[in-house]
Amino acid sequence: MKRVIKLYDTTLRDGAQTLGISFSVKDKLAITEKLDKLGVHFIEGGWPGSNPKDMEYFNTVKKLKLKNSKIVAFGSTRRTAVKASKDGNLKALLTSGVQHITIFGKSWDLHVHKVLRTTLQENLAMIYDSVSYLKKKESFVFFDAEHFFDGYMANAEYALKTLEVAVEAGADAIVLCDTNGGMLPRWVQNIVSNVKKEFEFELGVHLHNDSGMAVASSIVAVEEGCNHIQGTINGYGERCGNADLCVIIPNIKLKLKLNCIPDKKLKHLTEISHFVSEISNMKQRDNQPYVGAGAFTHKAGIHINAVIKESKTYEHILPELIGNKRELLVSELSGKSSLVVKAQELGHKLIKDKNVTKKLHQLLQDLEHKGYHFEAAKGSFELLLNKHLGKFKKFFILESFRVIVEKEKGEEIVSEATVKLKVNNKSEYTVAEGDGPIDALDSALRKALYPFYPVLSEMSLSDFKVRVLDEKEGTASKVRVLIQFQDKEKSWNTIGVSENIIEASWQALLDGVECKLMKERAKGRI
């Protein structure tokens, strides 16, 4: 029989313990559907009875028509000196209505003595009673041996005894946990190997990332025979997080050549990673392996030139396999080859050795030296390219602008901007107030242009960032302003650089408006 690695996702429980994450029930249900779409075998929904939100989740998740995933309820073994049948936690697990249940028990004698404050024998009885009670209720039981690796290193005989008791009680799978996340891959390898020699049962691992080794150790565990791997999307989890399934899954499929999800599902991995990042309100790491925005992004000219000829030269897999894409950046480090490719993406034909390309390359290097950063402002780059190639037709001419910021005693600050433009040989002079000088400028500019280009009402400013480029210069230093705009279809970023923050902001505002008008002209709307 072909070996299949079963994936167990705990984003909804362990991932929810990440600093800054708080899932609503709606969030948890949306993530559940995405994980099911990916083909994850088990989804740990939470701890029934611990809070109203998790109870609502288990009551609601039954309504979802899942095709691939089984929902799992999580809890602990019975309390000390309490019968399993009387334990509220175990009862809550059963009333959750799911068939698959995970319970954790102590496998490190330190925890038995210092945390549970009971005897080693009572802890074994707690494990046995809890597992056997759930099995009598026809549940499928995972036993998470909490702190197993630390426990094994401290007292191997007792740690193994906790596994033996769980198996005797009927556990369907045993999961070895590195709860503190301090194990190195070689340690995990040796311990898993030793456990495999002692027992014949379904074995898995649940590894935290406090030493930065959770993914590596998970892969080592698979190589040592573990067929059950637990982790979270994007490695979310308490402290330093859990093993990242977005890295583990492609490593299992593409490197170890083992099955864990269907081939056709793998291309959804990047989409799901970004979805969970967005719904968690967490910034996606650009350098996250496989699924990060920068995972297949090339900046150095030598690299870009080579990748264009043969992707294997600087890419370990094809990005399309996991739903990601290649990105060739334009910067002072880029060569002319990247300019040719980017121009082609934007519908222009450049020839590498032609003067027009050489001049554009020199212009970009000069601007980047002054502080421009075009990889973060693709809208401004597209505008620059069109202007350099003579493909841009002016929509208006700026004659002047002025900004006044006034503060009177006891009154709020008032920002006012005036803009004088010439549009279709007609002079326009407008005045507008705003929440700040940039908002006032934006309002005045739009007010002048709306009668001629009403499509501008569709766009809005969605982000505004300022960075001081040389803090040693103090208030006289250059600043870089990055602005993100968006309409119903897409978003675009523009840039401005100047010693004057108003001037830098105006450059970025102007580029943003011109990008929108250029796009609408190409569609024939203006």
Q: What DSSP assignment string belongs to 350-417?
A: --TTSHHHHHHHHHHHHHHHHT--GGG-HHHHHHHHHHHTT----S-EEEEEEEEEE--TTS--EEEE
Give SS3 for 145: strand
User: pLDDT band at 455, cuts 50/70/90?
Assistant: very high
Write out pLDDT tens, residues 79-103. 998 999 999 999 999 999 999 999 9
Q: Mark 163-202 as b/e (b = at least 16 C-beta within 10 Å).
A: bbbbbebbbbbbbbbbbebebebebbbebbeebeeeeeeb
- CA quadruple 157, 162, 163, 167: dihedral, nearest 10: 130
Q: What is the pTM of this model?
A: 0.73
Write out pLDDT tens, residues 332-386. 555 566 667 676 777 777 777 778 778 877 877 778 778 887 877 888 988 888 8
Asked whether this chain's domains 6-279 and 396-452 adopt the same fold, the reply is no
Distance CA 436, CA 414 (A): 8
How high is the pLDDT of residue 335?
A: 59
User: pLDDT band at 392, cuts 50/70/90?
Assistant: confident
CB distance 418 to 401 below 8 Å: yes
Q: Which fold has domain 396-452?
A: Double Stranded RNA Binding Domain (3.30.160)
Domain ranges across the chain: 6-279, 297-384, 396-452
Q: What is the mean pLDDT of the chain?
A: 91
Sheet (strand 479-486) strand order: 460-468, 479-486, 491-498
**CATH class of the region 6-279:** alpha beta
How high is the pLDDT of residue 407?
A: 84
